[in-house]
Amino acid sequence: MRVFGIDFTSAPRAAKPITCAVCELAAGKLVVEELHSWSSFAGFEAFLATPGRWTAAIDFPFGQPRQLIQALGWPEQWSEYVRLVGSLTKLEFVELIDHYREQQPVGDKHHLRASDKCAGSCSPMMLYGVPVGKMFFAGAPRLLEADVSIVPCRPNNTGRTVIEGYPALVARNLVGDKKYKSEQVNGSDRSGVRAQMLQRCQIGALRIAYGISLRCTADIRQRVIADTKGDLLDAVMCAVQAAAFHLPHCRNASIPPSADAVEGWIADPTYDY
């Protein structure tokens, strides 16, 4: 089974591309075969048209909080409100969310989805710092236009399945609260933590939580460790979540039947909901 993990960005460029881990899953072993980087959305859009049967986990929020959707009077169907968002310019979207936030009380300016509350992820309304709101704006309409099954927002029978990833959850299972991105700790080197994460993946630390073990070549291992931004490692961690979702005994744990299809759901079998 082909499995992909994608670390997304709202403004891909040479210095900060979208990264993709291309993997093969067989008999509980996830083999990282290639690492791709796309410096524009064209590469991402071409990927979504990849033929065959595959599963991909992509690191951006697929939806917005139901509280925001209702307050703005958006359609309470994922495809419809994402289509509406896609009709806006980036500036119009940013101004809309900023204006809404200004009207909210202190402490409730960034609403959370049900999944965010469980996973400990930030609000998809965030536009600055970690601009996941801008990632939603750039990514969700592209998913809508692609002929892929978006679980749980818009499932279909194409065999090309896309789920929402959140690599921080895999990282927590491997190294707890240790930081693995240099930019998070005043530029100090965290290559040792990245190496430790890969090593634990390869010796079976993912077996209980995710049902798989990870394999990669020495060259890929070195590329992942050398990437100080941690984007390549995040792509690999997303591939772990995609692989777990593909395993029948992990699927309902990754995305429960009760998941809100309007908001979307972070797919991972290890957190409580």
pLDDT tens-digit map of 203-253? 888 888 899 999 999 999 999 999 999 999 999 999 999 999 988 777 778
- 38-93 residue pLDDT tens: 999 999 999 999 999 999 999 999 999 999 999 999 999 999 999 999 999 999 99
Q: Rounded mean pLDDT of 135-142? A: 98
Q: Which amino acid is at 133?
A: G
State yes or no: pLDDT of 272 exceeds 80. no
What are the sequence ranges of the domains in the chain?
A: 2-61+149-253, 66-138
Nearest to 269 by CA among 252, 259, 260, 258: 252
pLDDT of residue 70: 97
State yes or no: pLDDT of 186 exceeds 70. no
Mean of per-residue pLDDT scores for the chain: 94
Question: Residue 213 to residues 25, 42, 94, 240, 269: CA-CA distances in angstroms?
Answer: 10, 32, 41, 9, 15
Angle of CA points 170, 246, 57, to nearest 5°: 50
pLDDT of residue 202: 84
Nearest to 202 by CA among 31, 24, 22: 31
pLDDT of residue 50: 95
Q: Rounded mean pLDDT of 194-207? A: 89
Nearest to 4 by CA among 243, 227, 214: 243
Q: Residues for the chain: how many in total? A: 273
State yes or no: pLDDT of 187 exceeds 70. no
On whether the pTM is more than 0.85, the answer is: yes
Tokens describing residue 31? 């083999």
For residue 58, the cross-strand partners are 6, 164
Angle of CA points 238, 241, 242, to nearest 5°: 90
Nearest to 194 by CA among 204, 176, 180, 174: 180
State yes or no: pLDDT of 174 exceeds 70. yes
pLDDT of residue 153: 98
pLDDT of residue 183: 63
Work out the pLDDT band at 141, boundaries 50, 70, 90.
very high
Work out the pLDDT band at 159, boundaries 50, 70, 90.
very high
Q: Rounded mean pLDDT of 152-161? A: 96
